[in-house]
Every structure is written in structure tokens, then in C-alpha cells.
Amino acid sequence: MQKTKVAIIGSGNIGTDLMIKIIRLSKSLELSVMVGIDLKSDGLARAHRLNIKTCATGIDGLLTMPEWEAIKIVFDATSAKAHLYNWEKVKAFSDKKMIDLTPAAVGPFLVPPVNFTDHVNVPNVNMVTCGGQATIPIVAAVSQIAKVHYGEIVASIASKSAGPGTRANIDEFTETTAKAIEVVGGAQKGKAIIILNPAEPPLVMRDTIVTLSEPGNEEAIRESIHKMIAKVQQYVPGYALHQAVQFEKISKDAPVFIEGLGQQYGLKTTVFLKVTGAGHYLPKYAGNLDIMTSAARATAERITELLINCA
């Protein structure tokens, strides 16, 4: 099978980890160019040592390279602000698709096991956030069984795994993730919280997902959650339940107040996850970054399988 040529914009931690994953794991993608803006970045240096073409002048430099014509998919691993500029340049080329790993959310939210087929033909898809990729599949799993009134997620990540890009995008993280809990997860109202955990030694990513849904069959919900976890594990092996799924009935006589929804009752479902990274480039505790790059790679491979190689 002929591999699809791709480019990565952003030579920081996320971009570099994605580069290593494509090189080591992908049977359908070929990294053609690694793009950054810092000649001294470790990502560009590693790419050069691996005999991959590099560009240190951003998207503008990439567009002038002879490799650009053959590139079909562009990963953006920069920042929300930079993505707006990058997309303005790329969208003029109808034969290119962009996979956005920033919280810019220019294109529709995409979580591979939940809504890939809804957006397979879209030129720009957004991978939400690390917290979104980890938790939205669980909200969606509950939504498949019972209508979810409210979905709240708390993503705790090691402070050492949060680089300048993550720290600069904290507001976008919470807003983007909360919106995606609703749009993709199916919750009537969503809320997202991120915690930068300074513990030493650093802890792996932990996620808590709480949903309040209509009364539903607990066993069916549990089974739906376990099936969804298995789907995510196909591309993120370190994605796992940390504890058994917990249920609590909220009675009509003792409802809870949810801002924007008022008094609500039903079935409360609580799920605790941990996400351990594969250790390809980043430490294993950086599962928050690993799930983003893994989801982006899985998305590109499915696009290649369904569209590019069948064109």
C-alpha cells in the first residue's frame, strides 16, 4: 500500500511525539516534512537526524517546498492562535486535509470512536483537547443508553507534562472541552476542569467523569462504557479504568441543582480513568499528550483508509 504523505506543523512536545508515532507505528502514513519556527528545537533536530525534511519558517516556508504538492494531510500541533493563521494558508488547497491538535476549534470536534464518520469529508477537524479525548468517549457511552442532562469532567495532569502551549491555552481548554461534551458527548450541559498536579514523582493523567442522566439500566451503561474503553485502547493502549464504574440514584424528592438546568434527578454515573503514555518520545506520565497524538494519528489513518486510498 502506498503511504499518504503528511506534514506536522509544530516541533514542540506534541508535534515531536506525533512524529515518532508515525515513524514507528503507522503503516499508512509517511512523514514528509516537520515544520517549526525554532531551528534549535529538539523536534527539528530529531527530524533532521531521521532524514526527514525540515522547515524552520512555519507554514509559509512549507508552502514553498517541493514536498508540499504531494502532502495530503497536515497536522497542526502549534497553538490556538497560530492555527488560525495556518488554516488561512492551508484552506486554499482543496486536496489537503488538516487535523488540528490545538483548542482553536475552527473545524468540527472529532473524537475517533464517537463521531469519525460524521466528519470524514470535512477539510479541517479539531481533536478537542487531551481531556476531551479521554473523557468524551465515556459521556458518549452513557448517552447511548440514557439521555445525559449533565456531564462534568476533571482532568488532572502532571505539571511537568504541561508545556507553554498547554499553559497558554488553559481558558480555551475548559471552554472547548465543555462545548465538546455537549456537541460530541451528547450531554445537555457540559463542564470541564483541568488540574496541573505538581506532585513528584509526576503522576499519570487521571480523569474523573460524572454524568447525570435519565434513569437507565445500570448494567447496560456499564457494558457501554467498557465497550467504549476497548475502542479507545485500540489506539491508546494505556487508557484504562482506575476503579469500577459507580452509580448513584438521585431521587425526584431530593434533586440536585445544576446551573443552567435547575433541579435535576436521575442516575449519577461516575467513572475514574487513568491514561499512561506509550513513552515513545515523552515520559509515560504524559498520557495527556499521548492521547492527543494517538487520536490524531488514528484519525489520519482512517481518513487515508476511507478517502485517499479509495479516491
Q: Do 238 and 302 sit in the same domain of this protein?
A: no
Residue 168's pLDDT band (boundaries 50, 70, 90)? confident
Instruction: Assess whether 42 and 122 both reside in one domain.
Output: yes
Per-residue pLDDT at 171 = 84
Give residue 83's Cα distance to chain centre. 15
Given 31, 130, 138, 141, which residue is catalytic?
Answer: 130
Question: What is the model's pLDDT at position 172?
Answer: 82
Task: Look up 310 and say whether it is catalytic.
Answer: no
What was the pLDDT predicted at 309? 56
Co-location of 89 and 218 in the same domain: no
Per the CB < 8 A criterion, the answer to whether 102 and 135 are in contact is no
Report pLDDT for 263.
96
pLDDT value at 310 more than 60: no
> What total number of domains does the chain contain?
2
Q: What is the pLDDT of residue 167?
A: 82
155 shares a domain with 97: no
Asked if 155 and 268 sit in the same domain, the reply is yes
Residues 117 and 134 in one domain: no
DSSP 23-66: HHH-SSEEEEEEE-S-TT-HHHHHHHHTT-EEESSHHHHHHTSG
CATH number, position 271: 3.30.360.10
Which range of residues forms the domain containing residue 304?
4-127+290-308
User: Is residue 197 domain-shared with residue 217, that is, in the same domain?
Assistant: yes
Q: Are residues 145 and 270 in the same domain?
A: yes
CA distance linking residue 271 with residue 108, whole number of Å: 26
In a shared domain, residues 257 and 140: yes
Q: Are residues 137 and 266 in the same domain?
A: yes
| Domain match, 297 and 190 both | no
- For residue 41, how far is the Cα from the chain centroid? 23
- Coil, helix or strand for 126? strand
**Per-residue pLDDT, 8:** 98
ω into residue 201 within 30 of 0, thus cis? Answer: yes
Q: How confident is the model at residue 103 (pLDDT cuts 50, 70, 90)?
A: confident
Does residue 37 sit in the same domain as residue 23? yes
CATH at residue 87: 3.40.50.720
